[in-house]
Amino acid sequence: MSLNQVKLPPELLAQLYHTVLVELPGSPSIKNQPTEQSTTDKIKSLGGHKKKICIVVAEQEAVFLKDEQLAYLTRILMACKLTLEDIALINIQEVVHPNYQDLQQQYPSSTCIVFGLTPQNLQLPVDFPFFQLQKIEGCTYLFAPALDLLEPQKADREKLWQSLRKQFNV
């Protein structure tokens, strides 16, 4: 049997070709069907992103962060001689398939600090522990526990501060 004689069931063909190859008059247009998320969908952020620093969180109960967490983050930024205008604060809770490439495409950054997630959550090609600075494709990543878990833990706060001092020369 040659490849030209292979017969595929309609179900398999439908899985192989997600979009139509030819639109017939009177058939529903694929353009009107909703998609999960395209890479052109704008990921919302808070801040000016002036110093190309991205801070990523996954907060379910607030648009970006709860007031207490935002106050704590602001204190961390002040210690690093930064403000909200210097960063882009992103809550990826509403992003369908979050990944580091979409974040970098929309918010090109030299530093990305991630609270409450792991490298796997952003589909990074390598895995590394909290508080370790890791350079990937021109951006230095730093992962840490969620802000509400980090604040009461003195040992974790110290580890974060050591990493931030090294990254921002403070």
Tens of pLDDT along 46-69? 999 999 999 999 999 999 999 999
Q: How many domains does the chain have?
A: 1
Q: What is the DSSP letter of 80?
A: T
Residue 11 is predicted with a pLDDT of 64
Tell how strand 139-144 and strand 111-115 pair up: parallel
Phi, psi of 109 (to 5 degrees): -135, 150
Residue span of the structural domain in which 155 resides? 53-168
Residues 116-155: tens digit of each pLDDT: 999 999 999 999 999 999 999 999 999 999 999 999 999 9
Taking every pair of Cα atoms in the chain, the longest distance, rounded to a whole number of angstroms, is 71
Q: Can you tell me the mean pLDDT for 63-80?
A: 94
Residue 8 or residue 105, greater confidence: 105
Is 1 inside a domain boundary?
A: no
Residues 3-46: tens digit of each pLDDT: 566 776 666 556 555 555 555 565 554 444 444 444 447 889 99
Confidence of residue 97 (pLDDT cuts 50, 70, 90): confident
Is 45 inside a domain boundary?
A: no
Starting at the edge strand that comes first in sequence, how are the strands of the sheet with 87-91 ordered? 87-91, 53-57, 111-115, 139-144, 134-136
Q: How far apart are CA 15 and CA 151, in angstroms?
A: 48
Residue 22 is predicted with a pLDDT of 56
CATH number of residue 115's parent domain = 3.40.470.10
Is 102 inside a domain boundary?
A: yes
What's the predicted TM-score (pTM) here? 0.75
pLDDT over threshold 60, residue 160:
yes
48 Cβ partners below 8 Å, 6+ apart?
84, 85, 86, 87, 88
Whether residue 33 contacts residue 19, with contact meaning beta carbons closer than 8 Å, is answered with: no
| Residue reference for tokens 């529903």 | 28
Which structure tokens are listed for 23? 């639109």
